[in-house]
A and B are shown apart, each in its own frame.
Chain A
């Protein structure tokens, strides 16, 4: 592994991303719109759970943040398919960089973009919707980091099995949405049917929501997010190992069709 090569690829990936910032803007604006629209609904649900003074953003912001971050797992894979479409994948592979350098160079920017997206949403939650974080911001940031890592790793896994862009879109975006839905990021877990509640903990998103609830509503600190963070990190490691095992660098991915 060569940090210099990964770093060069990372800088390049950012340059490519910034050449078209529309998606980044999209994944921040739409969740804010969703919170604005569903805030009252969420407030009712929270008050029913005993959070008397809740205004809805305490669930709405983390929920939409997680949902849209999960929705975006396809972007992690997109950077690979794009290179196949541009003919640059083989060019990258013909340079002396290792496959790990390429992976790190491509995935880390995705993690960072996800982190920025999440931070923006939580940051704007206060001024726009009166979100009050009763616990530790540091704990919140730890959750954001491990969530971004586990979702990007999930994106890698999807990329490793998808051969066409359509498959990536289907499994990535729709699968990501399922991940968020089942993890309790669209509606609170408590309001879901029993079977759904039973499988929710198998989703990394569930643990993110669990951690955010403790920090935002129950004054949680670092100790409170320890378990959720470790579980998410575990998911991240699992997804990474699986995708490393499954990823075929010489496979030709189909960008169109």
Chain B
């Protein structure tokens, strides 16, 4: 449904996309991950025709999105990162306007407004002025707009930012339902945890490139290993033959494809009474990200927010 190849984009000196390749099939939900400044918003903006690409291929449903943007926009629903609503008219009017502009027939409009409102639990808000809603309520309405015409390609840019648990649940449910009807979904988020509640595959965007693509389990087993963390009373001992990393002063982290075997081997070698605790850290997307970039997801976020030119390394597990 969405085919992107070699997509490049820079804003003057600032390079945002350096050759992005990405495919999303019908019915597939792709979680687009990446730290601040990775290029997620730039990517969806180009697909939606809001920004011009410098080069590359973007096709939606086989239609060239760069030259036939209007045709592509008929198939596409976008909830941009920044909340965009007309604050001085009602929620219903907002949904109706964008529904109508997206091609929902006027006779079907009322019913569609009700359906979407119900799915996102904003029925009670329909006749309120959009500008007078709370931030999270606005976010729901903002996201609801993208669903109005049941787009064949749905792109949500950090839709769940600022949303409470319930709202997040509603949004994820609706995303899943749309995908079940055959739509492709590109879902950018900073919450690694919410991806596990979706039947989603993952694309990790970092500094303008897709550095990993696949299913969650697949990526985790390919790129990350479990880690055993040993906590000690006082200074940790030196472990022979093991690449252990000292963290927080009195703890050691050891990568272990087989944590049980590692523990059996290591525990007898420790000085009696020195061990304070043992923790097995199962790999997750966070570890994948760490393994691929040498940066922690959250730290990369913080760094990206300050200065995009922070060259790798820094934090993280010592190479083994």
Binding site for B on A (CB under 8 A): 4-5, 8-9, 12, 15-16, 19-20, 86-98, 250
Contact = CB atoms under 8 A, between A and B. Distances in A.
Interface stretch (B73-81, B111-119, B185-193, B254-262): B73-81
B51 A88 contact: no
Contact of B88 (A5, A20, A87, A96): A20
Nearest to B102: A95
A90 B84 contact: yes
**Which one of A88, A92, A96 has the greatest number of beta carbons of chain B within 10 Å?**
A96
Interface string B76-95: 10101011111111000100
Given A15-B93, A95-B73, A96-B70, A90 B101 contact: no
Given A87-B83, A88-B85, A8 B102 contact: no
Contact of B48 (A12, A20, A94): A94
B97 A87 contact: no
B21 to A, nearest CB: 23
B84 A9 contact: no
A151 B115 CA distance: 43
A86 to B, nearest CB: 6
Contacts, number: 70
Interface in B40-61: 45, 48-52
Nearest to B70: A96
A92 B52 CA distance: 17
A90 B103 CA distance: 17
B86 A88 contact: yes
Contacts of B48: 93-94
Contacts of A89: 84
Chain B CB count within 10 A is highest, among A12, A20, A92, for A12
B73 A94 contact: yes
Contacts of A86: 84-87
Most buried by A among B48, B73, B83, B86: B86
A15 B45 CA distance: 28
A8 B80 contact: no
A250 B50 contact: yes
A90 B80 contact: yes
B49 A8 contact: no
A19 B88 contact: yes
Contacts of B86: 12, 16, 86, 88
Nearest to A98: B70
Contacts of A97: 101
Q: Which residue among A19, A88, A250 has the maximum number of chain B CB atoms within 10 Å of its CB?
A: A88
A137 B49 CA distance: 48
A96 B52 CA distance: 16
Interface string B173-190: 000000000000000000
Contact of B89 (A4, A16, A87, A93): A16
B64 interface: no
B232 interface: no
A91 B74 contact: no
